[in-house]
Chains A and B, each alone.
Chain A
Amino acid sequence: MTRYIVRRLLTAIPTLVAISMVIFTILALAPGDPLAEFAVNPSVPPEVRQRIRKSMGLDDPIPVRYTKWFTSIIRGDFGYSFRSRSPVSDLMMQRLPTTLYVIGTAYLIAVLLAIPIGVISAVRQYSVFDTVATTLAFIGFSLPTFFTGLLFILLFSVKLGWFPMIYRATIDEPGLRGLWLKIEQAIMPITVLALFQTAALTRYTRASMLETIHQDYVRTARAKGLSELTVISRHALRNALIPVVTIIALSIPGIFTGAVITEQIFRVPGMGSLLISAINDNDTPVIMAITIIFSALVVLFNLIADVLYGVLDPRIKYE
């Protein structure tokens, strides 16, 4: 197992390096000059501008610039925000926990809901439960998160007044009341994200389960006289979950997309809303850093999924 994990880790590193190269190349090829504001500033003579360029290494060839940038990123140095002049890593450390908390909870809920629903749907194929679940999953899958989010605000904040419209990071009320306020404001963003993921995962779980329960070994398990519960949970489900784990990992990039949008709708102060405000402010270092961090998280979750896959399906380790 250790060897398998090490091998996976070793393939994750080149992927990360390649992603960083792609992102850096996009930036290097992009038009626009980081010193453009000096060009129109009459108090900065051209020769000073040249000197700044030189001191910042902007005239170096792309591979040199890439190496410098990449080595500082590995050390956790993402440079300074153009906007707030503070280190980008500080900004991100403030924002990352909120995003991970919202995404993580949403994903956990989605998995906990989707797997039982998908399994029951498949076991009772064409039943009322299955029809309702499949239809709802289809609708949930086709509802974009930005529309669900707006509908939730319309219904639960504007009409019913149950939940606050806007997420506040600065709740400092003590005790249970403060805790409740913190939970209350997270309910809508988490539900919006969880709804979409549940819909997608239910469909996959059902499909995978349907394929499994018609296998010969499931019939054998029944023939041995095992109870239906044992047949489904121990013989069918465990095998059906293997492709579902892959799907869960592959949909991680998608949930970051959802997070960017949900954070924007509910003004959750996370990475996604930082990204959008950075784009509106032309704050390139922040944009680069967030894109890199999102990629790193995607690679990390893929790695975790690969390891889980190895645990669930011992054949994978020996391929």
Chain B
Amino acid sequence: MTGPVLAKTYPAPFVDRKEILRYMGCRGGRADEARKTDSALESMIDECLSELLPQLTYNVSYRQFTIYVDACNCNLSFMQTDSRALAGALAGCERLVVFAATIGLAPDRLISKYGCLSPARALCFQAIGAERIESLCASFNDDISFLLQQEGYFTRPRFSPGYGDFPLAAQKDIFRVLDCERRLGLSLNDSLLMSPSKSVTALIGAAAGEKPDCSRNAQNSCRTCDDRDCPFRR
């Protein structure tokens, strides 16, 4: 099966300030307490948020495929790859959602503007942009998981070109099948990076059946899970 290219525009996802701070490099040090009372930093983040947020759009383009995956080969129907990392991520999956998401060019402009005027702000816009695009991907992920769940599938974590041995060159294939240039205004440069830079392309595999019960594992992460034989272990 090859589905049509579909599009979705999201309202602004909830802003996760902790994530923004994390992307700015504010976590895990002894500075946490001091940081909390640093009003200059907090007000800079507020100012950056109010400058950037109104300029963002949240767009996703996606498409479904039927796929055939074995231990070392993935036939994604629009492309083939022998990436082992991808084969692992898609193990047991019969369906695939390919998506591209973007929050637009505003973060690039502001990062560039403040690059020379205020590197602190440039860093802040960089962090907000990263948090925004991740939140958009999370929203889409929730939607698509819910949708597929109703059809009897559960989804695996998303996987992007450039992860492990899955080549960045797959960006070209994804761009082709999603018509990213036309539908989202994305473009690939000669180094296969996307403009706008706050964009993501990724694959979400879906396998038939019930999602494995991860509830025993409090942190909901494979790394801390005891079930070493789980077929979906990453």
Chain A complexes with chain B: no
> Residues of A at under 8 Å CB distance from B?
none
> Residues of B at under 8 Å CB distance from A?
none
